Amino acid sequence: MCGRYVLINGKRVFLTYKELRVKDDGHMDEHLPRYNAAPMQHMPVFAQRGGELIALQMLWWLIPHTSKDGKPASVAFNARAETIETSALFAPYFKGSRCLIPADAFYEWKKISVSVEAKGKMKLVEEKHPMCICMKNEQPFMFAGLFSVWKNDKGEEFPSFTIITTAPNALMSEIHHRMPVIMPERHFEMWLDRTYKNTGALKKMLVPFPASEMKAYRVSSYVNNARNEGPECMKKVE
């Protein structure tokens, strides 16, 4: 799964992906920096709207456009790559409402068994150590996602998104049994093209990112609380 991530500077994303022609309405950095972004918060997303690629603030938790009350779908902040073509919820968006979510890093919690003393006896207990995962070159990257635009009775738009997850690569398998899909730049154009409907070809893109290009390190439990923000969330601990 992917339940927390980092995006510090939108301008740095544009500098990293100069060939990605995104129209920015000035709101790209509206909620940034975010060192501990969590579901039900608004974050910038790249998607095609009205025939052009734009940066748009969206709610992280998919609200189906068919919703009668504008409430998010159950556990829809992530979408599984393996079932995305057949899911009643996600399949329509996979065919025509795909997006990219810029990020600098993401967090996952690694389960560790440790020995502790209790009433004079040693026993094994399970701890969850927060890990920060990013690129070795520390450059921004893009999650693959899907988006929806729900409209209320007044015609007001409420865009939302979900992050697609897949099986872990060698690095992530030591931390968690899932990881977010990180989209290589060579696939950006096809992934964002809403007229491209070959879901078989699109699904082949939803694979683990090369572990050789990534790194992971432990951070403090400060990041556990989604209300905590700031560079301390990413600070390495031994």
* Residue 119 belongs to a domain: no
Phi, psi of 82, rounded to the nearest 5 degrees: -65, -30
pLDDT category at 19 given cuts 50, 70, 90 is: confident
- pLDDT, tens digit, for every residue of 146-192? 999 999 999 999 999 999 999 999 999 999 999 999 999 999 999 99
User: How many angstroms separate the CA atoms of 205 and 224, rounded?
Assistant: 31
DSSP letter string over 86-130?
T-TTTHHHHHH-EEEEEESEEEEEEEEEEEEEETTEEEEEEEEEE
For residue 1, what pLDDT is reported? Answer: 80
Phi, psi of 93, rounded to the nearest 5 degrees: -75, -30
Describe the chain by its helix, strand, coil percentages, rounded to 5. 20, 40, 40
Q: Which structural domain, as residue segments, surrounds residue 15? A: 5-107+134-234
* Residue 114 belongs to a domain: no
Residue 234 has pLDDT above 90, yes or no: yes
pLDDT-wise least confident of 26-30, 47-51, 52-56, 122-126? 122-126
* Residue 51 belongs to a domain: yes
* Residue 122 belongs to a domain: no
Q: Which amino acid is at 172?
A: M
* Residue 146 belongs to a domain: yes
* Residue 112 belongs to a domain: no
Residue 137 has pLDDT above 90, yes or no: yes
pTM: 0.94
Residue 221 has pLDDT above 90, yes or no: yes
* Residue 202 belongs to a domain: yes
For residue 158, what pLDDT is reported? Answer: 96
Specify the CATH number for the domain of residue 211: 3.90.1680.10
The residues that are catalytic are: 2, 108
Note if the bond before 210 is cis, omega within 30 degrees: no
* Residue 19 belongs to a domain: yes
Number of domains in the chain: 1
Contact 144, 165 (CB under 8 A): no
- pLDDT, tens digit, for every residue of 61-81? 999 999 999 999 888 999 999
User: How many angstroms separate the CA atoms of 35 and 201, rounded?
Assistant: 34
Give the HSE-up count for residue 189: Cα atoms under 13 Å, Cβ half-sphere. Answer: 3
